Amino acid sequence: MPKAARSRMEYDAGKDTSSLGSRTQSNLTGSAFRLDVISSGLKKEIDQRLQQALIHCNLPFSIVKNPEFQALFDIYLRPTYHLPSRRTVSGPMLLQAYHDMLNKVRIRLADYSKYLTLSCDGWSRTQGKEHLLGFTACDPSSGMVVFLDFVSNADSERCNGQFTLEKTLEIAMKHSMLSNKVSFVVTDTASVMKSYWSLLMFCAWE
């Protein structure tokens, strides 16, 4: 029987079929047969559970292509469930899992963290040009860290202490979770950051 047409028929002789819900039912010589059908909603839920299992068990996404792993589902567990491809697992499903976890951490930090540490780091190809700044927030009490944003300078902007300070204030305004919670700012010791420290301390006193 082709895989697409293969469905598990469960033979429930003498069982009460009133609890079968919306599943397809048929009676044959006094016995009930159930056609195992998976809705799109249930398929999505199983996909998400599969994704979590692969991540938490540190399994390669390519395992979904393994014939033995596929047989486990096709023959024994849920023949009507079709495993997602490796590209789907490592692409849109992984991206969705990342955003789901990111939102959970942000909510956790916003609702329960009393103090936060803001971390800023920068990279550039040419000194003062094509500069990229990355910002993260950390809760020292729990050790939870969340990525906030990347910002870059325009062609007409020079990356210096003033530029870094302006972007820091923009990040603070953009993310409400930082409101009245930032107690420390952590950077590296680059010359731009040293200038940034002085400006930041001046703003703090103001």
pLDDT in tens, the chain (206 residues): 444 333 333 333 333 434 333 333 333 333 343 456 788 888 889 898 999 899 989 999 999 999 999 888 888 787 788 889 989 999 999 999 988 888 888 888 888 888 888 898 887 765 555 678 889 999 988 888 888 888 887 655 677 888 888 888 888 888 887 878 888 888 888 888 888 888 888 776 45
Predicted TM-score of the model (pTM): 0.57
CB 20 within 8 A of CB 33: no
Model pLDDT, residue 127: 56
**pLDDT for position 6:** 39
Domains of the chain: 3-93 (no CATH), 102-205 (3.30.420)
135 Cα distance to chain centroid: 18
The pLDDT value given to residue 14: 39
Contact between 167 and 192 under an 8 Å Cβ cutoff? The reply is no
Place of tokens 């390519």: 62
Cα distances (angstroms) measured from residue 139 to each of 54, 122, 134, 149, 195: 28, 21, 17, 17, 26
Please state, as a whole number, how many other Cβ atoms lie within 10 Å of the Cβ of residue 77.
11
Q: Give start and end residues of each alpha helix (H) in 7-121.
A: 40-56, 67-71, 86-90, 92-112
Report the distance separating Cα 97 and Cα 51, nearest Å: 8
pLDDT at 91: 92
Quick one: angle between helices 40-56 and 92-112, nearest 10?
80
pLDDT at position 156 is: 52
